[in-house]
Amino acid sequence: MSLNKKLLWGGLGWAFGGPIGAIFGYAIASMGDNNKGQWSSSNRFPNNQNSTKPADFIVSILVLFAKVMKADGQLLKSELDYVKQFLKQQFGVQQARELMLVLKDILDQDYPLKDVCRQIQRSMDHPSRLQLIHVLFGLSAADGHIHPDEVKIIITISNYLNINQNDFESIKAMFSSDKEAPYKILEINSDSTNEELKKAFRKMANKYHPDKVAHLGVEMQRLAEEKFKSVNDAYQKIKQERGL
């Protein structure tokens, strides 16, 4: 497809879907005709916070992936492999290949992070935004080390997405071996009572239940099970420490 048509699709995206729509429009223009039907406008632009679709989620996360990948000034193979595997699980080999090309274009650009995040915040429900942060930490940890500069950019993204500090620290702790991590995951302190522990477990198990992101698709729901498992593991570890 010619560059003019790509830019036309991008322009329609800006008109109907803000900065993410522009990127998405360019992505559709870059894909073959056989793929366009799967990315219909009904899947692209949500009308309310409960209408987040897999397409909305994936285009949003491509932009945020790029920001995290560039945060430490390095573009690592482990990070690219993580993204490639993530896309394969969500969309299959062919569309993963197409979306990796889109990611390459995004990496070459400098999209306004605040504008993109504000669009996500307005259009995406809270469980989906929590899942975004979890996936971004997964990307950061792909090389076995979470770089401080990557944490800084994820904090910035989290703030723009209107995610509170406790939820951010809870998800961050899922990727930590700190002895206080189980308490942070459950959003309590080490001096919390056993009753407070049980209450916190029920609250966090409900907050991170995979069904909360069922609207993002089966594969994303499976990925969300990692958060749910982290909550259960944290609870079991504290119970063991306390002899409960």
210: pLDDT strictly greater than 50 = yes
Q: 124: closest CA among 40, 243, 22, 212? A: 212
For range 108-118, the mean pLDDT: 82
- Tell me the per-residue pLDDT of 8-64, one tens digit each, with 9 for 90 and over: 344 434 334 666 666 666 555 555 544 444 444 334 333 444 455 556 667 778 888
pLDDT in tens, 88-107: 877 788 878 878 888 887 88
Helical packing angle, 148-160 and 165-173, nearest 10°: 140
Tokens for 147?
A: 């770089």
Contact 213, 221 (CB under 8 A): yes
Q: Averaged over 164-189, what is the pLDDT?
A: 93
Structure tokens at 167: 């939820």
Over range 187-207, report the average pLDDT: 94
DSSP state of 211: G
Q: How far apart are CA 187 and CA 21, in angstroms?
A: 35
Beta strands in 187-235 (DSSP E): none
Looking at residue 57, what DSSP letter applies?
A: H
Are 186 and 200 contacting, i.e. CB atoms less than 8 angstroms apart?
yes
Residue 175 sits at φ, ψ, to 5 deg, of: -115, 20
For 48-62, 151-165, 217-231, which range has the lowest pLDDT when averaged over its residues?
48-62
pLDDT of residue 10: 44
Based on its alpha-carbon atoms, the radius of gyration of the chain, rounded to whole angstroms, reads: 19
**Which pTM value belongs to this model?**
0.78
Q: In the predicted model, what is the mean pLDDT of the chain?
A: 79
Nearest Cα residue to 174 out of 233, 129, 127, 223: 233
Q: What does 143-176 look like in DSSP terms, one character per residue? A: GS---HHHHHHHHHHHHHTT--HHHHHHHHHTT-
Structure tokens at 151: 């944490």
At 46 the pLDDT is: 39
Percent share of the chain, pLDDT over 70? 77
CATH code given to domain 164-244: 1.10.287
CA–CA gap between residue 24 and residue 199 (Å, rounded): 42
205 to 94, 126, 128: CA distances (angstroms): 35, 15, 15
pLDDT of residue 137: 93
Q: Note the Cα 130 to chain centre separation in Å.
A: 7
* DSSP annotation of 16: H
Selection from 75, 86, 57 nearest residue 226 by Cα:
86
